[in-house]
Structure 1
Amino acid sequence: MNVLIVEDEPNYADTLEMFIDELGYKLTGLAQEGQKALRLFRENPPDIVLLDINIEGELSGIDLARLFQAERPTPVIFITSYDDKETFERAKETAPHAYLIKPFDPQQLERSMELAMLRAFGSTHEDDVFEKDRHVILAKEFFFIKERNKLVKLTIEDILWVSVEDKYCILNTAEKKFVIRLSLKELADRLNPQVFVQTHRSHIVNIKKVDDIDLSQFTISINNREVPLGKSYKDNLIYRLQML
C-alpha cells in the first residue's frame, strides 16, 4: 500500500511515518502544506492519504481532499484535533473513509486503513485457493526481518543470543545483528523453549551455541563473547541442562 501523509505537526508526522514503516507500507511522500501535498499526489499517486485538516498554507486539509477526489478518487483518512460538529460536517462532504481525532489510536488507524482499501478496491484475495490456510505459519525454522524495503531471511538456529535495548530486541548471529521492534516476551513466544532459554532479564541464549558457563562470574560464553547469567535464572538453567 502506497501512503501519502499530509501533517504539519512534526511529532505526529514522525509517528505516522514510523507507523507506516512498521506496517510494511510504502511512504510516497510527507507534506506540511497544501501545494507540496498536491505535487506529491500528482508525481507519485498514493493508494491512500492520511490527512490533517489544519495544515500550513492557504489550502486546508478539506480543500485538499476535494482536489484529490476531483483529480483521482483516492481513499482519505482525516486525522485531526478538531472534534466540533461544524468541522466534521465540512469534512463529511468530501466523503472520507475515516475521521480520527488526535491523539489517534494506532490500532484504530490500522483498521481504518484496511477498511478504506477494502471499500475502495474490494478484496485482494480473489482466486486464492489457499484461503483456508491463511493463518498457518510458514516455515517455522526461519524468520523474515524487514530491513528498509527488503525482507531478509534469518534462520532461527543461527541466532546465538538475543538481547534487549529499550523497546528493541537485538538478534545476534555470527555474521551480523538484526534489530527488531518487539518485546523479549513477544519474541520468546516465537522461539522453541527446548533450544532457547532466558538467562537474564534482558537476554535469551541458544543453548546449542553455548561454549561454557562460568558459575563464579555468572557469565555464558558464546562464539568468544560473554553473555550475562542472572543469579535468579541460574538454577533454572542448571536444572534444564544435561550434566554429568
Structure 2
Amino acid sequence: MKVLIIEDEPNYADTLEMFVDELGYNITDVVGEGQQALRAFRNEYPDLVLLDINLEGEMTGIDLARAFQAERKTPIIFITSFDDKEIFQKAKETAPHAYLIKPFNPDELERSMELALLRTHGPNQEDEQLLDNGKHAILAKNSFFIKERNKLVKVNVGDILWVSVEDKYSILHTADKRFVLRQSLKEVAEKLDDSIFVQVHRSHIVNISTVEDIDLQLFTISVNGEEVPLGKSYKDNLVQRLQML
C-alpha cells in the first residue's frame, strides 16, 4: 500500500514517517503544503492519505480532502491537534476513514490504516470482526489480505495454486510464496469460489485451472511442478469437474 503523508510539523512528520515505515508500507512522499500535496497526490496515486488539518498556506487539510475525493476516491485519515466539534463536523463531510487527535497512539494509527484498506476493497462488518479477533486472512472481493507482522499483504485469489492444512493451520501456496493462516481448511474453503477451487484430499484444495496432470495410479496431482495428494473418495468429483471444463 502506498501512503502519502501531509504534515507541516517536522516532528510529527518524522514520527509519522517512522511509524508508517515500520508497518511495512511504501511512503510515496511527505509534504507540508497544499499545492505540494496536490502535486504529490496526482503524481503518485497513493492508496491512503494521512492528512493534517491545519497546514501552512491557503489550503487546509479539509480543502485538500475535498479536492482529492473530487479527483479520485481515496481513503483519508485525518490527524489533527484540534479536538473541536466545528472542525470535526467540517472534516466529517469529506467522509474520512478515521479522525485521530495528536498525540496519536501508534496502535490506533495501525488499526485505522488496516481498516481503511479493508473498507476501500469492500469488506463487510464480519470481515472487520475477523481482523479484530486476530484472524490472519480477510477476503475482499477477488483477493485475500493476509496479516504478516505489522502489515496486510494482498494475495489475488487467482494466484493461489492450492491450499493445504498442517495441524491447526492452513497454508496458501502461490508460485513463489507460502502464506500460513490461523484458519481451518473449512473456513478457507468457505471463502473460495467453488467453481474454481475443488477439494481433492481431506487436507488439500486445488485451483482446478492450475492442474497439470493427474496420476490415477499413484493418486497424485501435479500443480506447478509439485505433487499434491489425491484422495480416492475425491477422485470421481475431480475427474467430473475436469470433464466439464
TM-score by length of 1: 0.53
Aligned to 1:116: 116
> Runs of 5+ in structure 2 lacking a partner?
123-139, 145-155, 172-179, 183-245
Match of 2:44?
44
C-alpha distance in 1 between matches for 2:170 and 2:92? 38
Shift of 1:56: 0.5
2:170 aligned residue: 132
For residues 41-84 of structure 1, what are the alpha-carbon distances to aligned partners after superposition, in whole Å with 9 as ceiling and x for unaligned? 00111000000000101000000000000001000000001111
Residue identity opposite 1:114 in structure 2: E
Question: Could you tell me how far apart the structure 1 residues matched to 2:55 and 2:67 are?
Answer: 15
**In the TM superposition, what whole-angstrom CA distance separates every residue of 1:21-43 from its partner, at most 9, and x where no partner exists?**
11111010111110000000001
State the alpha-carbon separation in 2 of the partners of residues 61 and 54 from structure 1.
6
* Counterpart residue identity of residue 23, structure 1: L
Partner Cα distance (1:100, 1:61) in 2 = 13
Amino acid at match of 2:119: R
Residue 9 of structure 2: aligned partner: 9
Partner secondary structure for residue 132 of structure 1: strand
Residue 23 (structure 2) pairs with residue 26 (structure 1): no
Question: How far has the Cα of 1:135 moved from its partner?
Answer: 4.0
Q: Identity rate of aligned residues, in percent?
A: 68
CA distance in 1 between partners of 2:5 and 2:170 (Å) = 35
SS of match in other structure, 1:56: coil
Q: Distance in 2 between matches of 1:109 and 1:65?
A: 18
Letter in structure 1 aligned against 2:82: Y
User: For 1:78-133, what per-residue CA distance to the aligned partner results, in whole angstroms no more than 9, with x for missing partners?
Assistant: 00011111000000000000000000001111110010010001324163546834
Runs of 4+ aligned residues of structure 1 deviating over 2 Å after TM superposition are 126-136
The unaligned stretches of length 5 or more in structure 1 are 137-244
- Partner residue in 2 for 1:139: none
Query: What is aligned with 1:200?
Result: none
SS in 2 for 1:86: helix
Task: State the distance in 2 between where 1:132 and 1:50 align.
Answer: 34
Q: Distance in 2 between matches of 1:94 and 1:21?
A: 26
Counterparts of 2:60 and 2:170, CA distance in 1 = 45
What is the CA deviation profile of residues 118-157 of structure 1, one whole-angstrom value per residue up to 9, with x for unaligned ones?
0001324163546834347xxxxxxxxxxxxxxxxxxxxx
Q: Please identify the structure whose Cα radius of gyration is greater.
A: 1
Counterparts in 2 of 1:164-203, with a 5 A limit? none
Q: Report the count of equivalent residues.
A: 136
Alpha-carbon separation, structure 2, partners of 1:132 and 1:90: 45
| Displacement after TM superposition at 1:20 (Å) | 1.2
What is residue 75 of structure 2 aligned with on the other side?
A: 75
Looking at structure 1, the residues matched to 181 and 18 of structure 2 have their Cα atoms a distance apart, in angstroms, of 26
- CA distance in 1 between counterparts of 2:41 and 2:99 reads 20
How far, CA to CA, are the matches of 1:108 and 1:20 in structure 2?
Answer: 12
For residues 37 and 58 of structure 1, what CA distance do their matches in structure 2 show? Answer: 12
Q: Normalising by structure 2, report the TM-score.
A: 0.53
Q: What letter matches 1:118 in structure 2?
A: L
For the aligned residue pairs, the C-alpha RMSD in angstroms reads 1.6
- The residue that corresponds to 1:143 in the other structure is none
